Amino acid sequence: MRLNVALYRVMAYVTGVVLIVLCVLAIMQIWVDDGAAVNAVGTVHGALYIVYLLVSFPLTRRLRLALKPTVAVLLAGTVPVMTFVVERHISHRYVEPALAAAATPRPPVPEPRR
């Protein structure tokens, strides 16, 4: 579970940063008539978003999230800054309790009598 969470956090931050860079470049395209940078960063963001989906969907299933949080996690990579907000919310609300529950020791299972 820790690996899933770590991969999700990395992909959320990377996807969010690249999306912000893409938005800044798209705004700067008003003054500079060169769309090559926007096309290149847009392609990179599209590839990273697919990886983000492949990483985040299994995490939402493992945490057994309801439909609304699952959709929020999956669509967060399409709205600038939203990946940071959703990642923080999901971490505090769902991931930390799940990790704490997994870390608590369970009583040993008694051996069957023969």
User: pLDDT tens digits, residue range 79-109?
Assistant: 999 999 999 999 999 888 888 888 777 777 7
64-68: average pLDDT? 93
Mean local confidence (pLDDT), 43-53: 96
| C-beta separation of 7 from 54 below 8 A | no
What per-residue confidence (pLDDT) applies to 49?
96
Could you report the per-residue pLDDT of 2-40, keeping only the tens digit for each?
899 999 999 999 999 999 999 999 999 888 878 888 999
